[in-house]
Amino acid sequence: MRPIERTSANMAPPMIDRVRAMPGGIRLFLLYAFLILAGIGLSLRSVVDLAISTPVSFEGLVVMVLLAYTIFTTTLVLQRKQAARGLALGLASLTIPLVPLLLLSRLIVEGIFVATLGLLLFRGLLRPEIRAYLSEP
């Protein structure tokens, strides 16, 4: 049996080429989503410890809902679905209440960083090329 010759017709483009073709707003959103997933991963230990004593807790519920929402939205963005735009804007809106919370906690630098990230996310996700990029029904 002879091996199949790999040509551009039967080979999917490498993922790095797909990432390079993405608009900047989508790349920034994916970075933001992966930061959320990393934060959930780091906090999961305390959620599991809490679940041992209290099977259903508010903290555990919030973390699991955020985890599911982030994974679902990221999957839709990677699949270029139209519904991903609204869900991505919803995930980006989580930066809005975080800014005053950080500023009231006297974490000025962190507050400015999160505010800048939020503005860049909204600016990137509201651009016309994002609507064109997320065009799959």
For residue range 62-112, list pLDDT tens digits in order: 999 999 999 999 999 999 999 999 999 999 999 999 999 999 999 999 999
Rounded distance, CA 126 to CA 136, Å? Answer: 17
- Whether 12 is covered by a domain: the verdict is no
Is 124 inside any structural domain?
Answer: yes
Task: Give this prediction's pTM.
Answer: 0.84
d(CA 22, CA 131): 12
Residue 81 lies in a domain: yes
Per the structure, the complete domain to which residue 121 belongs is given by 24-133
Q: How many CB atoms lie within 10 A of CB 74?
A: 21
Q: 14 in a domain, yes or no? A: no
Report H helices in 79-105. 83-92, 95-104
pLDDT digits (tens, 9 = 90+) for 7-55: 655 566 677 787 788 999 999 999 999 999 999 999 999 999 988 888 8
- CA-wise closest residue to 44 among 26, 59, 28: 59
Query: Is 2 part of any domain?
Result: no
Rounded to whole angstroms, the Cα distance separating 125 from 82 reads 12
19 within a domain of the structure (yes/no): no
Number of domains in the chain: 1
